[in-house]
């Protein structure tokens, strides 16, 4: 039997009152960035905010998640679809991978269509690095609409 994958989720502090419904639904359905776990058993062992700009909790939260067995940290989709998207997300990813030797995945649930539409109009994701960051959560329009 394959070993269970343990993950942690870090959300943007702007959404600190979020109950995690879309993230948990997409984890259960294995869509968006969680599609990489299709056919695998996954356990969520940590869920917290970044601590607010400029992300003070990024320094400590992954350590707690790792103590709980996490090998992967997901940055919630809100970090790339907020207005504006998190300007630190690339740095946070590098920091956690270097300091904690944990894989970091940018995104959780599929990008909701309403966010997709406005960011396309704004040109938010035109730079190659942003196009790469949103890939795991882009999905198709039908799926994006179901996450509106």
Q: Is the pTM of this model over 0.75?
A: yes
State mean pLDDT over 57-64. Answer: 97
Percent of the chain predicted with pLDDT > 70: 99
Average pLDDT, integer, range 107-129: 96
Give the DSSP letter string of 96-112: HHHHH--EEEE-SSPPP
Average pLDDT over residues 59-72: 98
User: For residue 24, what is the domain's CATH number?
Assistant: 3.40.50
- Count of structural domains, the chain: 1
Mean pLDDT (whole number) for 120-138: 95
What pLDDT digit, counting tens, does each position of 15-46 carry? 999 999 999 999 999 999 999 999 999 999 99
Sign of CA dihedral 20, 5, 62, 130: negative
pLDDT at position 2 = 72
| Confidence grade of residue 129 (pLDDT, cut at 50, 70, 90) | very high
Confidence of residue 115 (pLDDT cuts 50, 70, 90): very high
Question: What integer is the mean pLDDT of 116-131?
Answer: 95
What percent of the chain lies above the pLDDT cut of 90?
98
The pLDDT assigned to 3 comes to 84
Q: Please, are residues 107 and 80 in contact by the beta-carbon 8 Å criterion?
A: yes
8-state DSSP, 35: G
Question: Which residue range forms the structural domain that includes residue 120?
Answer: 5-146
Whole-number mean pLDDT of the chain?
A: 96
């Amino acid at each position: 039997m394959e070993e269970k994958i343990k993950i942690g989720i870090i959300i943007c502090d702007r959404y600190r009152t979020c109950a995690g419904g879309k993230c948990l639904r997409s984890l259960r359905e294995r869509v968006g960035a969680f599609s990489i776990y299709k056919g695998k058993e996954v356990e969520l062992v940590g869920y917290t905010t970044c601590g607010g700009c400029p992300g003070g909790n990024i320094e400590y939260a992954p350590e707690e998640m790792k103590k709980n067995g996490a090998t992967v940290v997901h940055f919630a989709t809100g970090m790339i679809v907020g207005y504006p998207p998190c300007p630190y997300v690339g740095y946070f990813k590098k920091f956690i991978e270097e300091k904690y030797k944990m894989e970091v995945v940018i995104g959780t649930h599929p990008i909701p269509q309403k966010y997709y539409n406005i960011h396309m109009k704004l040109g938010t994701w035109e730079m190659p690095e942003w196009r790469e960051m949103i890939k795991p959560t882009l999905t198709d329009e039908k799926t994006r609409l179901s996450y509106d």
